[in-house]
Structure 1
Amino acid sequence: MDNTQATTSSAPSPVGLAALEARLRQDLEWLALPGKSWTATLERDGQPVIDVAIIGGGQAGMAASVALSHLGIPNVIYDQSPKDFEGPWATTARMETLRSPKTLTGPALGFPALTFRAWFEAQFGLAAWDALDKIPRLQWMDYLRWFRRVMQLDIRNEHRVLAVQPRADGIVALKLQSPAGESTVLARRVVVATGRDGLGGAYLPPLVQQLPRDRWAHSSDLLDYASLKGRRVGVIGGGASAMDSAATALEEGAARVDLLIRRKDLPRINKGKGSGSPGLVNGHLHLPDAWKWRIRHYVNAQQVPPPSGSTRRVSRFANARFLLGTAIEAVEVKQDGTLLLQTNRGPLELDFLFFSTGFKIDWSLRAEFKDIAPHILNWSDRYTPPAGEEDQELADSPYLGPVFEFQQKTPGSLPGLERIHCFCYPAAASHGTVSGDIPAISDGAYRLAQGIAALMYSEDVEYHYRNIQSYEEPELEGDEWTESPWELPA
C-alpha cells in the first residue's frame, strides 16, 4: 500500500455535528464566553435602548455580532430576508463554488471548531476534505445557517430598515418594517453590514435606458434562468459574475450565449489575492491616504480575473462565444422585441442581455440612508489623486474613522453620525478588505467590536467610575490573620 492509500485508509471517521458542537461549547465555556454584560442600561422615550443594532445578517453581520457578544456587548441583528436566506448565497449568487480557497477560516473568529473545515469534516471526514477543491456555494450557506444556530445569534428576519436617524442625545433611531407592522428601535450604535452593494446597488451603463425591462437583467437580479431556454443571450462583462450568469443560462438551455468583453484579453492575475497578508490586514488603516488610494486603485485597475473553474464551466458549451475586444456602440429594439446591437465588430442580434457590470456606491438607491447620506464625508472630500489614478469607486467611498464610523462632511451638521459604523465592502478604501470578503472578516469584526467597546466605556466613564466606587465584594473577611505586637518576643 502506498503512502496516499495508507493516509486515506487511516483517516479518522466523521465525528458528527453533535460532537463538534459539544467541543465548541466546551471551548467557549473554558474561555468564559460570551462575555458578561458590563454596559449601562439606557432608556429613552420610555423604551429600552439596544447597545448595538446590526443591519444585515450575512457573514459580516454575524461575525460582528459574535465579536461584540464575546466582549459583553448585547446586540441584535435585523435582516430583510426570510430566515436562512440571508446574503446572496442561496438567492442571487450563481457560482458553483466559492472563489476563495477552502482553507480560509472566514467568520470563525479564531475558534477551530467554528470553521467551515470543522463543520465539513465532522459530517464527511478528512478524506472528503482532502478531495474537496472549492467550497460549494450552497454548502457555504448551510454552514452559515449552522453558524447562526450554534452561536445562538439574535437575528430578526423579515425586518426591513426604512430609516436610520442619528440623534444629538447619543441615540440612533431605526425605523423598521416587519410582518407585525412599522416600529422604531433605539440603539447606542448601529453597524451597517449590508454586503457588497451595501451603500448603493448594481452599476448599469446608460445603454440600459434604451431597453425594455423584460429584455435585460443585472447579474445580481433574481431571475428564473429557465425562461432563457431557446433564447439568444448576451452577457456584458468578463468577470466572475459574467461567467456565472453565462454558464447558468447555458445550463438552462439557452440557444446561444455571447460574452461581450471590451478588453482584448482577460486578466490572468488576481492582484488582490497577492496583496493579502497580516501586514495589510492590520496596517492598511494606518497608512497615509496616498498609499491607501494607490494600493486600492492598482487592484481595481488591474481587475480581478474570473476563476478558472467558472470560465471552464462556460467553455464546455459549444454554443458559448467569448467575443473579446467587443464594444457596444448602439442598440435598437426591433418590432418583435429582438435586440439589435451595433458593435465595433458588426451587428449582433439577441433576445436577452445581462449586465455583469458590478456595483456602485449610490446613496440615491438606498432610501433608508436618505437622512445621513448628505452629511457623510467621502474620500472625494479629503483626497485628490494624482493624474491617471482617478477612481470613481474610491472617490465615492466613505472616509471612515478608526472604528469604521462615518464622519461628518461638515462638523456639527449631523451630531450622532459617528455612531453609525460601516462594516460592508465600501469600507475597503479606509480599512482594507476586512469587512466584505471571507479572508479577513474575523479580523475586521474584532477591530469593530474592540473599538465600539472602547467608545462605549469612554462615554460612560463616570458610570463605570461610580461602579468602581460602589464595588464592595470583599476579598478578605478579616479573620485570615492575627495582628502581631510591635515588640519582638524575648
Structure 2
Amino acid sequence: MSDLSTFPNSLEALEARLRQDLAWLELPAKSWVPPRLVDGQGVVDIVIIGAGMAGLVASAMLKRLGVANHVVLDKAPAGSEGPWVTFARMRTLRSPKQLTGPAMGLPALTFRAYYEALHGRNAWIALDRAPRQTWMDYLVWYRRVLDLPVRNGVTVEAIRPRADGLLDIVCRHDGRTETAIARHVVLATGRDGLGGPFVPPIADDVDRKFWAHTADEIDFAALRGKRVGVVGAGASAMDNAATALEAGAARLDLFVRRTDLPRINKFTGIGSQGVVHGFAGLPDDWKWRFLDYAMRSQTPPPRPSVLRVSAFPQAHLHLASPINRLQKEGDHIVVTTPKGSYPVDFLIFGTGFKVDLTNRPELGPVASHIRLWRDRFPVPADMRNDELETSPDLGDAFEFLEAEPGACPALARIHCFNFPATLSHGKLTGDIPAISEGADRLARGIVRALFVADRERHFADLQAFDTPELLGDEWADDETTTLSDLSAERTSTRNA
C-alpha cells in the first residue's frame, strides 16, 4: 500500500516533483527551430490567440516539443482568460473531477495533484466536482509553473498573409497598434471562436436593454425583484436561470422547445480512447452521422444545475414552448408561446453559438477563402444541420483548407484549435477530457510543417556538423602486418 506521506502536501513540494519529472523525461526538448529575421524584425514561429485552457495546453505542448519561439495573446487581464470567471455561471465544472485535462500525461500537472497539494487527500475524496473559481486558479498555476509566454491585454485585429509566405498579426495593446510577423497562427478562441452567440431572429426588433445572451455580461443584481425569462434547456440556460434566482428574481420562466428535457449525454456514454483517436479517421459520412445524431439528441444539463433552479418556488418550466412572438409593452416585453403569453422584464437567451466568419474581424483578410463542410460535402437530405454545414473543413493539424485551391495558400498556416473543429477532428478542442490529445495532434503537425519548411537549413546543418564520436586513438591500424605474415600465421595454426 502506498505511503500517503510521500505525496506532495504543498504547492512547493508539488512543483519540485514536477520539475523532477520533467528533468527525468528531458523536457522541454531543446529549441531547434532556426530563427528568422525579416527587415531586421524577428519572426515569431507561432502566435497562439487565446490564453484559456486550449491556448495554454497548446503552448505547453509546443514548448515540450522544442518550439520555444512562440507567444500566447489574450485580450483579457491575467486571471480572467476563458469563460471560467466571466460568463460561465455554474457553481462547479460539468466534467468529473478526475479527468486529467491539460496535464499532457504528467501526474504532477493534473488538477487532482494541484487540489490535493493545497487541501489534502481527504478534501479531494470529499470533493464532488471542481468549483469554477478553483479551476481558474489551477489554470493560473499551470501557466506559472510551466512558464508559458502569455501576453495579456492584447487584441488581435487582423491576420494578413504576406507575399513572403509569412503572416502579419496586427494587434492592439495599451492603445497602440503593433504588428508581429509569424510563421503559424493558432486560433485557441473557444466556443465562439469562428463566430459568436446565436440569438434567434425573433429578437432582432426588440430593444437590446430587454435581453442578453448567456455569453454576455449581465448585471444580475439589477434583476432583483424582476420577472426574468430564459430561453433554452442547456447547461448555460440553467446556470443563468439559477444565477438570476439567487440574485433575487421575483419570477423565472424557462422556455423550452422540446416536449421534455434531454436526459442522456450520448457522447459521454461512448467516451473512450477509440473515440478520441479514431474519430478523425472516420469517413466523412460517418463523422456527420455521429455528430448529427448527438446534436439532435442534445446534451442534458447537469442534474445539479437543474436542481439549483427547481429549488426555487418562483421558477416555472414551460416545455413544448417555442417562442412565437416577442413584443414590447410599456416597460417590459411579452413572450408568446403556443401555451400562452408571459410578461418578463428581462429575457436571457441560452441558445448557443454559431459559425459566422463575418463576425470575426481578425479573419477578414482570409475568411472568404476558408472551406466549410457544406462547400464540398453532399449533406444528406434527412440530416440537414446548420451548425455542421458551417463547420470549417480542416486538415490533419487543424489547419484551414482553401475553398478554391491555390487562392490563399496562407490558410495552411492558420490552425483552428477551437470548438468548430469538432466535425473534422472530434471533441479534442473545446472540452476538458481530450484537450491534451488535441494539443498533441496540433503541435506535432506544426512541428512537422516547420521542419519540412526549413529542410534546406537542416540539411546544411547536417553537412556542417563535425563533432567527432571517435578521436582516432581508440584502436590503431596494425601497419606491420603483411599478407605473407598472415599466410604464415595460418600455416602455423594448422600445423599446431
Question: Fold match, TM over 0.5?
Answer: yes
Counterpart CA distance in 2 for 1:345 and 1:12 is: 62
Structure 1 stretch displaced more, 259-268 or 474-483 = 474-483
State whether structure 2 residue 54 is matched by structure 1 residue 60. Answer: yes
Distance 1:59 1:434 in 2: 12
Q: Give yes or no for contact 1:12–1:125 (8 Å, CA) kept in 2.
A: no
Matches within 5 A, 1:419-458: 419-458=413-452
Match of 2:398 in 1: 404
Could you tell me which of 454, 461, 474 is aligned with 2:455? 461
Q: Deviations over 1:223-273 (max 9, x none)?
A: 121110000000000110010000000000000111011111001100121
Unaligned 5+ segments in structure 1 are: 1-6
- 1:255-270, aligned counterparts within 5 Å? 255-270=250-265
Higher mean C-alpha deviation, range 268-277 or range 64-73? 268-277
Q: Which amino acid aligns with 1:473?
A: T
Distance across 2 between alignment mates of 1:395 and 1:13: 49
State the distance in 1 between where 2:400 and 2:110 align: 31
Question: Which of 66, 76, 81 is equivalent to 1:81?
Answer: 76
Query: What is the alpha-carbon root mean square deviation over aligned residues?
Result: 1.5
Q: Report the Cα offset of residue 11 of structure 1.
A: 8.1
Match of 1:71 among 49, 59, 65: 65
> 2:185 aligned to 179, 183, 190, which one?
190
Amino acid across the alignment from 2:432: I
Say whether the 8 Å CA contact 1:14–1:125 is kept in structure 2. Answer: no
For the 8 Å contact 2:71–2:149, the answer to whether it is kept is: yes
Cα-to-partner distance string for 1:133-190 (whole Å, 9 max, x where unaligned): 1111111000000000000000010000000112242211100000161000011111
Structure 2 Cα separation of the partners of residues 174 and 405 of structure 1: 17
Secondary structure of residue in 1 paired with 2:143: helix
Aligned to 1:246: 241
Secondary structure at the aligned position of 1:36 is classed as coil
Residue 481 (structure 1) shift: 1.8
Compute the displacement of 1:283 (Å).
Answer: 1.3
Offset, 1:83: 0.8
Q: Aligned pair 1:236/2:256, yes or no?
A: no
Q: Which amino acid aligns with 1:388?
A: D
The aligned amino acid for 2:314 is N
1:399-434 Cα distance to aligned partner (Å, 9 max, x none): 000110001101121121110000000000100011
Q: Which residue of 2 aligns with 1:103?
A: 98
Query: Is structure 2 residue 333 aligned with structure 1 residue 339?
Result: yes
1:257-296 → structure 2 map (5 Å cutoff): 257-296=252-291
Secondary structure of the residue aligned to 1:388 is helix
Q: Equivalent residue for 2:302?
A: 307
| Among 87, 110, 113, the residue aligned to 1:115 | 110
**Mapped partners of 1:14, 1:56: distance in 2:** 31
1:195 Cα deviation after fit? 0.3
Residue 341 (structure 1) shift: 1.9
Residue 17 (str. 1) matches residue 8 (str. 2): no
How many aligned residue pairs are there? 482
TM-score (norm 1): 0.96
Which residue in the other structure is 2:407 paired with? 413
Structure number with greater Rg is 2
Please report how far the alpha carbon of residue 327 of structure 1 lies from its aligned counterpart in structure 2 after TM superposition: 2.1
Q: CA deviation at 1:14?
A: 6.4
* 1:230–1:180 distance in 2 versus 1, CA, 3 Å: closer
Match of 1:167 in 2: 162
Distance 1:216 1:462 in 2: 58
What one-letter code is carried by the residue in structure 2 that aligns with 1:123?
L
Q: Determine the C-alpha separation between the residues in 1 that align with 2:163 and 2:406.
A: 10
Amino acid at match of 1:395: E
* Percent pairwise identity: 51
Judged with a 3 Å threshold, the aligned counterparts in structure 2 of structure 1 residues 30 and 180 are, in CA distance, closer, same or farther, namely farther
Q: Distance in 2 between matches of 1:412 and 1:50?
A: 25
Q: Is residue 365 of structure 2 the alignment partner of residue 371 of structure 1?
A: yes
Q: Measure, in 2, the Cα distance between the counterparts of 1:275 and 1:72.
A: 35
Task: Return the match for 2:465 from 461, 467, 471.
Answer: 471
Pick one of 364, 379, 382 that aligns with 1:388: 382
Poorly superposed stretches of 4+, deviation over 3 Å: 9-14, 485-490
Per-residue deviation, 1:45: 2.9
Q: What's the offset of the Cα at 1:213?
A: 1.1
SS of structure 2 residue aligned to 1:170? coil
Q: d(CA) in 2 for partners of 1:340 and 1:180?
A: 42
Give SS of 1:54's match: strand
1:329 aligns with 2:324: yes
Paired amino acid for 2:232: G
Contact 1:231 1:256 in 2 (8 A): yes
Name the SS of the counterpart of 1:402 in structure 2: coil
Corresponding position of 1:42? 36
**CA–CA distance in structure 2, aligned partners of residues 327 and 436 of structure 1:** 28
Provide the rounded CA distance (Å) in 2 between the counterparts of 1:164 and 1:272: 35
Q: Find the counterpart in structure 1 of residue 145 from structure 2.
A: 150
Deviations along 1:112-142, one digit per CA (max 9) or x if unpaired, are: 0000000001111111111111111111000
Alpha-carbon distance in structure 1 between the residues aligned to 2:267 and 2:193: 20
Query: Which deviates more from structure 2 when the two are superposed, residues 17-26 or residues 272-281?
Result: 272-281
Is residue 352 of structure 2 the alignment partner of residue 349 of structure 1?
Answer: no
* 1:468 aligned counterpart, secondary structure: helix
Give the Cα separation in 1 of the matches to 2:390 and 2:4.
Answer: 55
SS across alignment from 1:280: helix
Report whether the alignment pairs 1:90 with 2:93. no
